[in-house]
Structure 1
Amino acid sequence: MIRVKLKNKLALTGAATMAALFLGLSANAARMDMVDVSNNNGYMSTAEYVSMRNEFGVKAVTVKISEGGTYKDPYAASNIANVQSAGMYINGYHFARYATKAQAIAEADFAGKTAKAAGLPVGAVLATDVESQEANNQSKAANDRNNAAFMQEIQKFGYRADIYTSGSWANNKMTVKGKTGWIAAYPYVVRGKNWYSTNHAWQWSSTAKFRISYGGFDVSQLNSNYYTAGQKSTVKPTNKAAVKANNRKANKNTSRPSVMSKWVKETKTYTLKTAVKLRTGASTSSNTIAILPAGTTVKTDQAIIQGGYRWVRQPRFNGYGYLATGPASNTLEYVKSGTTHTYYTVKSGDSWWAIAQRNGLSMTTLAIQNGKTIYTTIYPGQRLVVR
């Protein structure tokens, strides 16, 4: 899902941040019951999901299906198949871009058909992820009307419906009743309090790490059986000691959302020297709108430094796109100086296409910079230069 989330899972409000600071000192830890994945995570193998289940206690996985009225997540089908092979509960979500009831119904039809084609089983949850600029521009009444229309339409495909949004938006920008809803708010370190115990799920971190998986993941604690097929979960980890230790470790992670710098006006036109990901928020965990190829002209209106990167904002016809510039001291070139490289270790199931897509490259460019062709066989454990 998105991750500078207003993240694209929207930033904590000042009040929520203060609440996190004043939580009790109980050692109770939030559980890693559910993980959500999207194209941002690249190809995920069955082995990775098995590790999540057996070593971390993950019961369910919710995969991105679609966005707006045209985008289909290219990894949805493989994620669905591999989660099922790992013996876990599978659900999906659609990143909403609708601003009217008619658009909500159209997006639900698109999401339902896309989910069917990707293999999402009947009876799974297909949640609407509501955190976009389009929703931010609507009144609470309009968002409620649009969300209701989406959820009613999605049930026609045999899926159960739900709303995903941030804690700061729930019951402010839209209604999320008790005993419904999947709410995101990030204390990252949880000490003895379940913030959203009356909702189906609470997403409490966006930076969870798993032993054999690359990058950070969104993790949620389930407070009902809604995301486990409406029944008590039968997923059993094989290493309960590891689950306990790994959950304790996740809750001791001291990382926090980076302090926001102020956006400053910057009206400039740039020409990209290499491919860059255009994202929905100023965070490397935010969803990718598109991969802009080298030579693209980008007009920006604002800039900010946060999270170790310099970001610029590109006005678009339906909101904004955000471009990471590389290290905070660099300009919008996304090119590392000298001979320093970034490497990627090939995993089982990887392909030239999957690795190239993950890193914003063409297959040919990726192969050439490793002295190979796209017809060269790659093996698990092999290191490839990706930057």
Structure 2
Amino acid sequence: MATLFLGLNANAARMDMVDVSNNNGYMSTAEYVSMRNEFGVKALTVKISEGSTYKDPYAASNITNGQTAGLYVNGYHFARYATKAQAIAEADFAGKTAKTAGLPVGAVLATDVESQEANNQSQATNDRNNSAFMQEIQKFGYRADIYTSGSWANNKMTINDKTGWIAAYPYVVSGKNWYSTNHAWQWSSTAKFRISYGGFDVSQLNSNYYTAGQKSTVKPTNKGAVKANNRKANKNIYKPATSAKWVKESKTYTLKTAVKLRTGASTSSNAITILPAGTTVKTDRAIIQGGYRWVRQPRFNGHGYLATGPASNTLEYVKSGASHTYYTVKYGDSWWEIAQRNGLSMTTLASQNGKTIYSTIYPGQRLVVR
């Protein structure tokens, strides 16, 4: 199936793999067949478990229906461990749950590391815990890997070349194949499929690890639809550069992390200084360009510029001086996606809104994100 994608726009990310969980509800074989035939999906990664007690109620049906549709099926476990002993215990729980759900031997059973528990640990501790989980999971006959966000990779934990499934959602196409030395790159959490409801996480496979090097015996039946739907999906993620304009913005921000103050609104501009976390910044202008949202800081000898986060207008590196910042839920949003955009764990986001990660959220609902 690798040759299927050679005719696509080189700047377009492929929809090679979809991951699903209870958040997607029941997924039928027909839905997976449509993903395969019309969108080129060839692998499925199913949520199996979380922590040491939660079993995804849709794992078994997703595995069965995905296999029936001719997709290569893998699994993932949402990690809550903070110690080596907990990592081993969660791996035993995940392995047993995966066996019961019917995940075939030889499939990948990845550890999804993005929780507040992991955020509170050092990189060395996370590396030790992840290694313990992956070694233990192999005892069940599964292959191991780590899923995490791009901002956590080689920051909160080590992700070596030829390993890893990395989530990073771009805004402006760069022409490069993101995370090309890792197994997979999750490039969207809002992909739409023709006969499936809601938004889905989709990934491009940069190796054959998640298909175990096997060529599917069931190929897409509509190559034209695959190309068209791939371009359509990318259109909503990769937006062409436009002539951006500065707008007035008199605000005060407090940096959550250290940020480079630059001579211009571009990552290629020289750094004036590095502003440490906790610095208060007053701005007078804002602009969205080059894949980032930039603000301008008046200085005694001109201006300085800093990126507040991705061009989706999310304030990733700073927080406003207001008592609360709210986010209005949009169609297809999930707890995970909103949390990622706002630098939170799902648990923190849900709890500060008086809910759990299993609570249903609705379009139009306002959530506190700061």
Per the TM superposition, whether the score is higher than 0.5 is yes
Counterparts in 2 of 1:106 and 1:213: CA distance versus 1, 3 Å = same
CA contact (8 A) 1:40 1:285 kept: no
Q: Which moved more, 1:188-197 or 1:93-102?
A: 188-197
Distance in structure 1 (CA, Å) of the matches to 2:187 and 2:357? 40
SS in 2 for 1:269: strand
Q: Any idea what the Cα deviations from partners look like across 1:290-344, whole Å, max 9, x if unmatched?
A: 9999999999999999999999999999999999999999999999999999999
Counterparts in 2 of 1:167 and 1:384: CA distance versus 1, 3 Å = closer
SS in 2 for 1:232: coil
Q: Any idea what the Cα deviations from partners look like across 1:184-220, whole Å, max 9, x if unmatched?
A: 0001564521110000000001110000000000000
Counterparts in 2 of 1:335 and 1:41: CA distance versus 1, 3 Å = farther
Distance in structure 2 (CA, Å) of the matches to 1:368 and 1:167? 24
**2:319 aligned partner:** 336
SS in 2 for 1:336: strand
CA contact (8 A) 2:48 2:59 kept: yes
1:175-324 alignment runs, 5 A limit: 175-187=158-170, 190-254=173-237
Distance in structure 1 (CA, Å) of the matches to 2:243 and 2:79? 25
**TM-score w.r.t. length of structure 1:** 0.61
Aligned length, in residue pairs: 370
Q: Shift of residue 370 of structure 1?
A: 29
CA contact (8 A) 2:254 2:318 kept: no
Q: Shift of residue 230 of structure 1?
A: 3.1
Counterparts in 2 of 1:339 and 1:303: CA distance versus 1, 3 Å = closer
Counterparts in 2 of 1:127 and 1:265: CA distance versus 1, 3 Å = farther
CA contact (8 A) 1:267 1:302 kept: yes
CA contact (8 A) 1:20 1:187 kept: no
Q: Which moved more, 1:260-269 or 1:19-28?
A: 260-269
Distance in structure 1 (CA, Å) of the matches to 2:274 and 2:58? 16
SS in 1 for 2:64: helix
SS in 2 for 1:147: helix
CA contact (8 A) 2:115 2:346 kept: no
44, 58, 63: which one aligns with 1:75: 58
Q: Any idea what the Cα deviations from partners look like across 1:242-298, whole Å, max 9, x if unmatched?
A: 000000111111589999999999999999999999999999999999999999999
Q: Any idea what the Cα deviations from partners look like across 1:7-28, whole Å, max 9, x if unmatched?
A: xxxxxxxxxxx99999999762
CA contact (8 A) 1:189 1:251 kept: no
Q: Any idea what the Cα deviations from partners look like across 1:334-376, whole Å, max 9, x if unmatched?
A: 9999999999999999999999999999999999999999999
Counterparts in 2 of 1:37 and 1:192: CA distance versus 1, 3 Å = same
Distance in structure 1 (CA, Å) of the matches to 2:189 and 2:260? 19
Q: Any idea what the Cα deviations from partners look like across 1:62-113, whole Å, max 9, x if unmatched?
A: 0000000000000000000000110110000000000000000000000000
CA contact (8 A) 1:40 1:287 kept: no
Q: Which moved more, 1:94-103 or 1:304-313?
A: 304-313
Q: Which moved more, 1:302-311 or 1:165-174?
A: 302-311
Q: Which has the higher contact order (CA 8 A, sep 6+)?
A: 1
**TM-score w.r.t. length of structure 2:** 0.63
RMSD over aligned CA atoms reads 11.8
SS in 2 for 1:294: coil
Q: Shift of residue 118 of structure 1?
A: 0.3
CA contact (8 A) 1:282 1:311 kept: yes
Counterparts in 2 of 1:323 and 1:75: CA distance versus 1, 3 Å = farther
Counterparts in 2 of 1:262 and 1:109: CA distance versus 1, 3 Å = farther
Counterparts in 2 of 1:332 and 1:47: CA distance versus 1, 3 Å = same
Q: Which moved more, 1:280-289 or 1:261-270?
A: 280-289
Q: Any idea what the Cα deviations from partners look like across 1:142-188, whole Å, max 9, x if unmatched?
A: 00000000000000000000000011111111011000100000015
Counterparts in 2 of 1:100 and 1:125: CA distance versus 1, 3 Å = same
SS in 1 for 2:60: helix
Distance in structure 1 (CA, Å) of the matches to 2:134 and 2:312? 45
CA contact (8 A) 2:165 2:185 kept: yes
Q: Shift of residue 126 of structure 1?
A: 0.1
CA contact (8 A) 1:33 1:57 kept: yes
Counterparts in 2 of 1:99 and 1:75: CA distance versus 1, 3 Å = same
Q: Which moved more, 1:218-227 or 1:234-243?
A: 234-243
Counterparts in 2 of 1:66 and 1:249: CA distance versus 1, 3 Å = same
Q: Shift of residue 236 of structure 1?
A: 1.3
Distance in structure 1 (CA, Å) of the matches to 2:331 and 2:182? 37
Give structure 1 stretches of 5+ with no counterpart: 1-17
Distance in structure 1 (CA, Å) of the matches to 2:61 and 2:304? 27
The yes-or-no answer on 1:156 pairing with 2:139 is yes
Distance in structure 1 (CA, Å) of the matches to 2:124 and 2:354? 57
Q: Which moved more, 1:34-43 or 1:318-327?
A: 318-327
SS in 2 for 1:224: coil
Distance in structure 2 (CA, Å) of the matches to 1:336 and 1:167? 21
Counterparts in 2 of 1:292 and 1:362: CA distance versus 1, 3 Å = farther
CA contact (8 A) 2:253 2:282 kept: yes
Q: Which moved more, 1:97-106 or 1:304-313?
A: 304-313
Q: Which moved more, 1:242-251 or 1:229-238?
A: 229-238
Percent identical among aligned pairs is 90
Counterparts in 2 of 1:339 and 1:51: CA distance versus 1, 3 Å = farther
CA contact (8 A) 2:15 2:41 kept: yes
